Structure 1
């Protein structure tokens, strides 16, 4: 029986890993500033939860209107729901999945790390996170096995499935980790050829 470790980070600190971190930091700082200013002028009744709700509402508005990070916004359309979960640590592999920044040739090509944005398995023109996890036939057996466990698995449904329960979260996490570990080996092998 394996030992299960959990993060000691408070759940409110486990935020949208793939979100613009400067926005997250700015909103956290603004929350602290608002609460501090209220206490400074003697308003000790400032509701921190109200401040948090306002912060998330502003962040959601920016999230919806910004043209950057659209893959992440497709996966996580509702920040309030995502942030309210009380489980689910975002690791190295989930960060790649959620951000689209990682072992994907379209990303590596933009970073000038590979010569082509094409998929190394099926020659799709854009090897993106969406292609890798939802389209590439190389990973069809893994995708089908996951869908049997968690239900419909699409970009629109995946994070909803993840936050339903810790079992689904762990299944998606293991799915992404398995694929990205194998893909990394294959990408490295190709670089050596």
Structure 2
């Protein structure tokens, strides 16, 4: 409109913004109908997309995003086993389950039962990602409960991962690797 020399009023600008937002949300909804990646996250958020976008509370933290996307220390076992070939198997190091996943960490692993207690009591035992997101969107308290779980558990899992990497009896293949770039620029880094 401005390129044609027109000067839209505040009402017109508001109407255009609302229309643009509606079109964008509809396009997202259509794209989420057949995801090619991030299926865990899409399946959890898709039923709540409008509420997620309109929410007025809750900030995403690094560890909360790890759980919501399924990319964190739980996928380390699967990644380190299947792709990096630095783990013997994708088992959960906490309870010995055959595979450590975000769902396993959030809902099944017995090692995280104490941290999971508040979520379980608010969700009546349904710890699917969709239910957890529904709790998060329901109130600031619900968001805080889920965020606290993610922060506590992921911090413990990260610490456990570092201990396994630094253990004296760790296989050389298992140890954390420092890349060439890190070695090349180490002299520029401040002392620890």
TM range, normalised to the smaller chain? Answer: 0.7 to 0.9
**Aligned residue pair count:** 156
Structure 2 CA distance, aligned partners of 1:79 and 1:186? 34
- Cα distance 1:107–1:79, how it changes in 2: closer, same or farther (>3 A)? farther
Alignment partner, residue 161 of structure 2:
187
How do residues 1-193 of structure 1 correspond to structure 2 at under 5 angstroms?
Answer: 38-41=1-4, 42=6, 44=8, 45=12, 47-77=16-46, 78-104=48-74, 105-109=77-81, 112=84, 114-115=86-87, 116-149=89-122, 151-155=124-128, 156-193=130-167
CA gap of 1:113–1:170, structure 2 versus 1, over 3 A, is: farther
Deviation at 1:153, TM superposition (A): 4.0
TM-score of the pair, normalised by structure 1:
0.72
After superposition, the CA RMSD in angstroms is: 2.1
For structure 1, the residue ranges without an aligned partner over 5 or more in a row are 1-37
> Structure 1 runs of 4+ off > 6 angstroms?
none
CA distance in 2, matches of 1:107, 1:120: 14
Q: Which runs of 5+ in 2 are unaligned?
A: 168-192
Larger Rg: 2
